[in-house]
Each structure stands twice: as C-alpha cells, then as structure tokens.
Amino acid sequence: MNNLWDDEESQQFVGDAALRVYTSRLLGRDKALVLHGGGNTSVKVAEENIFGEIEEILYVKGSGWDLEKIEEAGFSPVKCDYLRQLAALPTLSDPQMVNELVTHMTRSSAPVPSVEAILHAILPYKYVDHTHADSVVTISNSVDGEARIREIYGNLVVIIPYVMPGFDLARICAKRFAEDSSSDTIGMVLLNHGIFSFGTTAKESYGRMIHLVGLAEEYLQLKRAWNVKDKPSTAPCKITISDLTGLRREISDVAGYPMILSRHVDKNCLSFTNRSDLATVARQGPATPDHVIRTKRLPMIGYNVRAYVEEYKEYFAEHAPLAKEHKSMLDPAPRVILDKALGLCSVGRTAKDADIVAELYKHTMDIIRRATALGGYHALPAKDIFDVEYWDLEQAKLKKGGKLPDFSGEIALVTGAASGIGKSCVEVLLARGAAVVGVDLNPKIELLYKRADYLGIACDLTDPAAIQKILEQVANRYGGLDMLVLNAGVFPSGCRIESLSSNDWRQVMTINLDVNQSLMKECYPLLKLAPRGGRIVVIGSKNVPAPGPGAAAYSASKAALNQLARVAALEWGDDNIRINSLHPNAVFDTSLWTEEILISRAKHYGLSVDEYKKNNVLKTEVSSRDVAELAAEMCGSLFAKTTGAQLPVDGGNDRVI
C-alpha cells in the first residue's frame, strides 16, 4: 500500500476543507481502498454563524459524490453538536435520521449528508477517513476474522461487530469507542464492512489509513494469501451471439425493462469461473454492504434464469414480512452471472452500471481467493444482506430516482457515424439513454467518445466478415441490439446515365444497397430478441420520391433500399420489428458541403447562401440534428404503432409534396 501524499502537490490545497479534498482524492485513486462512490471522509471546522457565534461544523462527504473526483461542494456541512445529541438518542429510524441531517445543514444547496455523518461526528478527531479496503475486508470475511484483526492491530484499532450502516451503527460505535479506545488508537475496524482512521491533520489521518491497510496486506503476504492464483483456465468456450442476446432477453423480461449485459473473459475472470468450488465460494454473498445494492445478494451460476428467479422468490419468503412490503421495489434479475464458458457477465440498467458491477465483482473475486487461502470465505448472513438490499433509505432512493431516459438499457447501432447525420444520431441516442455502437470507415469513429455507453468500430462494411465481427463485439459489450440506424452511404458526383460506368454503378449499389441488406439480415436475430421490439430507421433521400438528373445510381440505390425496408416491414411485423424511413434533403452541415460548394450552388440558382439553405416551402434550414432527433423519435414510443412509413425531413419540397 503506497502513500501517495506529495508535499509539493499538497501546497495547491490551502485550508482544512481543501486539504480534505486532497486526501479524499488520494484515497479515491486507489481502487483497493475505494470503489465507485464507496468510502467516506470528513473534517470538523469551526465557523462563525449569522449571529457571530462560533460553531463546530462537520463537513462530510455528500451522497452521490465519488472520492476520486470530489470537490469542496461535494461535502455537506452539518452542525456537529446536534449530531452528537442525535447519537445519544435511544432510537431513531433511518428516514428520521436523514431528515435531521438535512434540516441541520448550514448550506441548503449541499448534497444529502452521508448516513455515517453521526458516526463521523462522535469520533473525537478533526479528520476521519473511511474505506472498504480489500485487504481488511478479506481478513474480516475469513475464518476467525475478528481474531485475525485483533492479532494484526492490537490496540491500534477499536473493533466493531457488523451492524448495518445508519443510526444503530453510530450509537454502537460511540459506546464501543468510549469503552475500548486507548492512547494508541488510530483507527477502527467495522467487521465485514471496512476501516476508519483518524488524525489531527489531513496528512496524519490519510497516512494512518495507509499504514493500517498496509499492515493487513503484510499479514496476507505472511500467510501466503496475497498473490493467490486459480488454476490456469482454458480459453473461453465459443459462445454464440444468440446465446448472449437470448440471455439478455430473459434477464430483461424478468427485470421488467431492458438491461445491458456485458461479458468479461480476461484471464482473471475465466480462471475464477472455472474453479471447481465456484458454486460454493461465489454464493456466500457480497464482500461488503456497499456491494449489495450494486451486485445484489448472490451471483447467478450458469444460464438458468428461471431457477435463479425461483430461488429469489424463496429468498423473499424466508424474510417475510419485509419481503411483502418491498417486493415490488426491486427486480429479481441477477446483476452478476458466472459461468465457465461465459466468464463473468455483469448486468445493469445502463452500461455504466454494468461496468461498475463488473469492477466490484472483480475485487470480490480477489477477496474470495485470499479469504479462501486463509481458511475460508464467510460473507454476511442472508438476513443482513436482505436488510441492506431492502433498506428504507435505498427504497427511498429508488422512489426519488425519477424516470430514467427513454432508451436506458437499450442498444443502438449507427452506421456512417463519424460525421454528419450519423454523428448526430449517436449524440441524440446517447442523450436519450441508449448505449450506442458507432460504425464508420473513418478511424476517428473509435475516439468519438470515451464513455461506457459508447463503442466506436472502424471497419469497411463491404467486407462480408466485418458485419459478423461487429455484431460479436456488440453482443459481448452490451448483450444485444434494439435499434439499427442505416445511415452509411455515398453520394457520387453528378453523371448522366449514358456516361455512367458499370464500376461506378456497382460501387454505389454495393454501399447504398447491398451493405444495408446484409446488415438487416445479420441484425435480424438480435432485433427479434429486443425486449421492447426491434427498430430500424433507414436514412433515405428526397431522391426516392423526387429524383433529379445526374443522380441515377444514387437515386436508384436509395429507392431500392426504400423498397427493401417496406418489404422488411411486411415480413418482420410478426417479430415485433418495425422499420421506417426518413427522406432528408438539403442538409448542409455535413462533410459533403464545403463553404466553396455552397457558394457555387447558391450562385447557380441566383440565391445567397442563406437563401439557398432555406430554399424550401417552410423557408427553414434543415440540420443533421433535426434528422437525428426524428430518427430517435421513430425508435421511441410515439411511433410504437408505425411501421413501413416514409417521412420527409426537408422543410417541404414542392416536388415531393
């Protein structure tokens, strides 16, 4: 465990609150300490109130902030004396506690304080750090975990038995700390949960955290339980695209909404999922309470979704009457799937959620390996896991979470996505919550976005093998396909029919027609399994209803594509796949239209550039974004009962009308 404190770097952070930010970020950088919003930090500061009185204010990490990127605005200022008064109460429900925390902040715009705010307040130190260090959790979740913690730390820490985060934990910690702390105490271990450190300065509290966690790592190394390796696994078995899309569909049906399924087949995952004792070690439960909400109570082993759901019903039945109260608030779909052929599959409402689940479980794998090497892995009992999963505060978050974007959990594939209409389609679909795969011949497609819900693939779609490779990537990364936007195409320079070469004709037909037919054919099995039904939007052209001279190949290819879409709408309606076409015209914010070309064309018609751009019935300019918004809308609920339609996006063209 490396101490990342840098004296020169720390000088950029002036004042107690700024230094709290600095060391919080140091903790957040190390994923062996903190993962995805986990952990807590605080600092106590004396401030003058509106009456000129000096009050002690606890600045504690607010809900929704990640330590790695936290700013001063991410800390919630709460009156410290009031928090200590709360700690003295005999009982306080968690919803009541949150209400008291929020109503006793000194800044109304601050985030909701951490549920561990009272715990931070009762500890008699200026700075308090809390992490879920892998090494400490490993030891406390092993055979004789508490005894091992005492052996490692002696009087350096106060040991607290597992209690769910909230008011009861704060009250018990206050009592235990008063009874068990000594002049040597620099921290506190919450069994099956994590570790605290304290100090009079940010540097001291952070340094003590690193020291305490380092002692745990040294213990694991001494016991030969640090660099634990599973037996080398064989290469992953061949999993078909239909296997993955079928699994995603089953999970989505159980959940009641579309889900993202992401497959991980690195050596670490495959070696773990090929363990002979997988069913035993993996079904002990999550490593810490913080993991329960993301990864749920238990992973699913293998493909049998129905069996998992039945077991989930039994799990509810075992914990009645709480199960009856909360049953409708969370779905029984798994979030982690382990299989020797699949590897690790993570599931989430969004691609980001699925990635968080995967990272959490990869750390859980290491914890299980090391705890097993110590003699056995022991997670929280099922009742404690249930209590966290159906915790009042988590249920309240679900109720307040609001409606997710329209396409959350769904996947879209957009061709010709590096520029123009295709690029705008990517932007709009991402904004509506979809995970988007952008495909283009231009290599810059791979760098268009750097985010979990975007995958850019550079390839030549005229290569017959390329489409299959794309769909394999889509299935492995996101689990399936819901929407297909056929935008890629070429618009050759003007040429009369008598001068049109056979090669030029074939090239246009290959790109504008043949490639799209192949994409539709290969995407059909995936779209057929889309939880809300598959959707295809064809980006056609004004030249379909109103062709112009000099564009024979282009007009014929787009007309043929349009006819193909109409036939597909007839054939695939029984599969709940709908296909609609858009016919844009005069979309000038694309790479095809340079300023020079615009000036030349406007001059040809005796118009200014602005007049030329608006040379339509409505006298309006049509942008790539306009086309993309309508394409996305055609994939949404407003067009749920429309298929085989053709819609112009041209401001009104007299020849089309």
* 421, 323: one domain: no
* 196, 320: one domain: no
Is there a domain that residue 405 lies in? Answer: no
Q: What is the mean pLDDT of each run of 10 residues along the chain (657 residues)?
A: 94 96 96 86 96 96 92 96 93 90 95 92 96 95 95 96 88 92 95 94 98 97 92 72 95 95 93 91 83 78 89 74 55 90 94 94 94 90 73 60 84 97 98 98 96 97 94 97 95 88 94 96 98 97 92 94 98 98 93 84 90 94 97 97 97 94
Contacts of 35 (CB under 8 A, 6+ apart): 132, 356, 359, 360, 363
In a 3-state reduction of DSSP, which class is residue 476? helix
Is there a domain that residue 418 lies in? Answer: yes
Instruction: Tell me how far apart the alpha carbons of residues 306 and 97 are, in angstroms, rounded to a whole number.
Output: 39
**Which pLDDT score, from 0 to 100, does residue 236 have?**
62
* pTM as predicted: 0.91
Please count the structural domains in the chain: 4
The domain boundary, picked from 398, 420, 454, lies at 398
Is there a domain that residue 285 lies in? Answer: yes
**Which pLDDT score, from 0 to 100, does residue 394 have?**
61
Cis peptide before 525 (omega within 30 of 0): no
The domain boundary, picked from 368, 398, 428, lies at 398
**Which pLDDT score, from 0 to 100, does residue 399 have?**
56
* 464, 416: one domain: yes
* 180, 214: one domain: yes
* 344, 460: one domain: no
**Which pLDDT score, from 0 to 100, does residue 298 have?**
84
CATH classification at residue 387: 3.40.225.10
* 470, 518: one domain: yes
**Which pLDDT score, from 0 to 100, does residue 326 have?**
54
Q: CB–CB of 560/513 below 8 Å?
A: yes
Instruction: Tell me how far apart the alpha carbons of residues 116 and 217 are, in angstroms, rounded to a whole number.
Output: 26
Is there a domain that residue 2 lies in? Answer: no
**Which pLDDT score, from 0 to 100, does residue 626 have?**
97
* Domain that includes residue 439, residue range: 411-587+622-649
The domain boundary, picked from 398, 432, 462, lies at 398
CATH classification at residue 564: 3.40.50.720
**Which pLDDT score, from 0 to 100, does residue 397 have?**
59
Instruction: Tell me how far apart the alpha carbons of residues 45 and 54 are, in angstroms, rounded to a whole number.
Output: 10
Greatest alpha-carbon pair distance for the chain in Å reads 98
* 513, 643: one domain: yes
**Which pLDDT score, from 0 to 100, does residue 234 have?**
63
In 3-state terms the chain splits into helix, strand, coil percentages (rounded to 5) of 45, 15, 35
* 274, 208: one domain: no
Is there a domain that residue 515 lies in? Answer: yes
**Which pLDDT score, from 0 to 100, does residue 606 have?**
94
* 373, 458: one domain: no
Is there a domain that residue 236 lies in? Answer: no
* 456, 393: one domain: no
Is there a domain that residue 656 lies in? Answer: no
Is there a domain that residue 602 lies in? Answer: yes
* 70, 149: one domain: yes
* 259, 352: one domain: yes
**Which pLDDT score, from 0 to 100, does residue 235 have?**
64
